[in-house]
Chains A and B, each alone.
Chain A
Amino acid sequence: MLTEISSVPAPRFAALRSFHTARGGILAIDDHDSPAPDAPAEDTGPETARGRVRRAELGTSDAAAGIEAAIWAGHVAAVAEAGDHAAFAALFAHFAPRVKAFLMRGGANEAQAEECAQDVMVTVWRKAELFDPARATVATWIFTIARNRRIDVVRKENRPEPEPEDLSWGPEAEPGPAEQVATRQESALLRAAMSRLPKAQKDLIERAYFGDLSHSEISRATGLPLGTIKSRIRLALERLRREMKMGD
């Protein structure tokens, strides 16, 4: 499995990366509550399913998203077990630009975001053996590393972590393949649910997560009352939570 994963040619990832950049992020994809348009024909990589799953097609697209998540998890395993440079380069090409964008939206300038994104990828290398595919996808894991780095550097605060701390990312006794599949399926269902979310709701939770505006700033920017914003965020999160559990 590892050799197969490590042999994914680099140019393919470069192509995916430029496709992503051109697409202009989450807000550009889905405009309304209606199902998202079909993926363009050239988008045949493991990312086909992203944000574009229709209810009726969930089976196939779910599998595609699952394969993609499994590939990333395999890359992290290759880094952990063999210090695999090619696997790391692929992870870097896909995730580092996302980390950088995330940090810039959270208030970092370009130079700071570049530096921090590199540091986040250093952590990915160093903590690769702590990554647990039964607990999270690689995207979620790297998101939490980037988030913690943002708290360190941009907010200059500590982040208290719950006890037991090994509950976060510590290795557990041989996580079964069933848990790994469940984790990836949850992630695929969530993407599908996110693509069906009305734009206004998705816009609000994105702002809440990326931290570029406080609730009261969002209130001023949109002209919506603070209470409306809070309840919309809550409703959107509850809906996503519910739908990502559909596979249970």
Chain B
Amino acid sequence: MRDVGGGATHQLSEEILAGYAAGTLPEAFSAVVATQASICAETRERLRELEVIGGALFELGGSAEMRLGALEATMAKIAAVKAAPPVAPGPEAAPDPVLPKPLRAYVGGGIDAVKWRPIGMGAKQAILHETTDSSLRLLQIPAGCELPDHGHQGVEMTLVLQGAFLDGADRYARGDVDLADEETEHRPIADVSEDCVCLVACEGRLKFSGLLPKLAQPFLRI
């Protein structure tokens, strides 16, 4: 994971970026990639290269014959489509120091528009997107506080948007990504400088190893 040189020090893996370029990642994980790419120019360039690879595979790949009259049908669709009227920019159009555009679209505005819900010990969360197999949420951890110890059912991807957190010996700041899987039992602690805001995508639900958080899990949806 560690990748020194320009921008964030904890970068997205090749596999995840390729999944984004190929369009095969679940939406929650795509959102993390798009958000990280909004912060990190190096990721944007890596994604561009992966799209070039996708373009070459696409062009060299097989072809399936179009039906008779497909071109005419397409020209008819083109003639039928009227130019969409310009849409007035919503509150998500305004720049925000914490939330890049992909997240402002979910929130419907900047960091001040986030609808936080307390999850105990001063921490707060806002669920942005949830399906049966994955979820996307914003987490806010007060400066110097700890996120409850937890394991995972699947892959969990955490991107720092504000402040920083420490996970073992590693420090993660804005733009850094921490990837954990089923085997990882980690205990992130927010840096003392300021409250830490993270974007978290995970497969399945989080499970906590402490007794109390486990009981609270169904209510907190974390």
A97 CA to B31 CA, complexed, in Å: 30
Closest to B36 in A: A162
A238 at the interface (CB under 8 A from B): yes
Whether B22 and A101, one on each chain, are in contact in the complex, defined by CB atoms closer than 8 angstroms, is: no
Q: Is A82 interfacial (CB 8 A cutoff)?
A: no
Partner of A118, one of B22, B63, B70, B105: B70
B44 at the interface (CB under 8 A from A): yes
Contact B64 A209 (CB under 8 A): no
Bound-state CA distance A146–B26 (Å) is: 17
Minimum CB–CB distance for A159 against chain B, Å: 6
Q: Are A208 and B18 in contact (CB under 8 A)?
A: yes
Is A122 a contact of B44 with CB atoms below 8 Å? Answer: no
- Having A118-B77, A144-B55, one finds 18 other A-B pairs with CB under 8 Å, namely A25-B60, A126-B81, A139-B55, A139-B58, A141-B55, A142-B55, A143-B51, A143-B57, A158-B27, A162-B44, A163-B38, A190-B52, A190-B53, A208-B19, A209-B22, A211-B22, A233-B14, A240-B53
The residues of B that contact A139 with a CB separation of less than 8 Å are 55-56, 58-59
Contact A100 B22 (CB under 8 A): no
Whether A101 and B61, one on each chain, are in contact in the complex, defined by CB atoms closer than 8 angstroms, is: yes
Interface residues of A in 76-123 (CB under 8 A from B): 85, 89, 92-93, 96-98, 100-102, 104-105, 110, 113-114, 117-119, 121-122
A118 to chain B minimum Cβ distance, whole angstroms, is 5
Main secondary structure, interface of A, reads helix
Q: Does B100 lie within 8 Å of A100, measured CB to CB?
A: no
Q: Looking at B31, B38, B60, B101, which has the most chain A CB atoms within 10 Å of its CB?
A: B60
A244 to B101, CA, bound (A): 31
B65 within 8 Å of A by Cβ? yes
Give 1 or 0 for each of A36-80: 1 = CB within 8 Å of chain B CB. 000000000000001100000000000000000000000000000
A229 to B73, CA, bound (A): 42
Tell whether B158 is near chain A: CB-to-CB under 8 Å: no
| Distance from B51 Cβ to chain A, minimum over Cβ atoms (Å) | 6
**Chain A residues within 8 Å of chain B by Cβ, number:** 75
Q: Is B139 at the interface (CB under 8 A from chain A)?
A: no
Map CB proximity to B onto A132-171 as digits: 1 under 8 Å, 0 otherwise: 0001110111111011101100010111111111010000
A196 located at the interface, meaning its Cβ lies under 8 Å from any Cβ of chain B in the complex: no
Count B-side interface residues using an 8 Å CB cutoff: 54
Main secondary structure of the interface of B (DSSP, over half): helix
**In the assembly, what is the distance between CA of A26 and CA of B55, in Å?**
13
Partner of B23, one of A24, A26, A147: A147
* Residues in A173-206 with C-beta less than 8 Å from chain B: 186-187, 190-191, 194, 205-206
Instruction: For A233, list chain B residues within 8 Å (CB).
Output: 14-15, 18
> Cβ of B74 and Cβ of A92 under 8 Å apart?
yes
Assuming the A-B contacts A118-B73, A230-B15, are A25 and B52 also in contact, with contact meaning beta carbons closer than 8 angstroms in the complex? no
Contacts of A237 in B (CB 8 A): 14, 18, 50, 53
Q: CA separation between A126 and B73, bound complex, in Å?
A: 15
Contact A159 B61 (CB under 8 A): no
Q: Shortest Cβ distance from B105 into chain A, in angstroms?
A: 7
Identify the B interface with A (CB < 8 A).
13-15, 18-19, 21-24, 26-27, 30-31, 33-35, 37-38, 43-44, 46-67, 70-71, 73-75, 77-78, 81, 100-102, 105
Question: In the docked arrangement, what's the CA distance between A209 and B202, Å?
Answer: 22
A and B contact pairs by CB, cutoff 8 A, 27 listed: A21-B65, A24-B62, A26-B61, A96-B74, A97-B63, A100-B64, A102-B61, A118-B66, A118-B77, A122-B77, A125-B78, A126-B78, A126-B81, A139-B58, A143-B58, A144-B55, A150-B23, A159-B23, A162-B43, A186-B52, A190-B52, A206-B57, A208-B24, A210-B57, A211-B23, A238-B14, A240-B53
Q: Which residues on the A side are within 8 Å of B67 (C-beta)? A: 114
Q: Which of chain A's residues have a CB closer than 8 A to the CB of B31?
A: 160
Whole-angstrom distance between the Cβ of B101 and the nearest chain A Cβ? 4
Tell me whether A104 and B64 are in contact in the complex, defined as CB-CB below 8 angstroms, given that A209-B54, A211-B22 are known contacts. Answer: yes
Query: How far, in angstroms, from A157 to B13 measured CA to CA in the complex?
Result: 22
Given A97-B65, A122-B74, A160-B30: A137 in contact with B23 (beta carbons within 8 A) = no
Query: Which 8 A-B residue pairings sit nearest by Cβ, starting from the closest?
Result: A140-B55, A25-B62, A163-B101, A97-B63, A162-B37, A160-B102, A160-B34, A139-B59
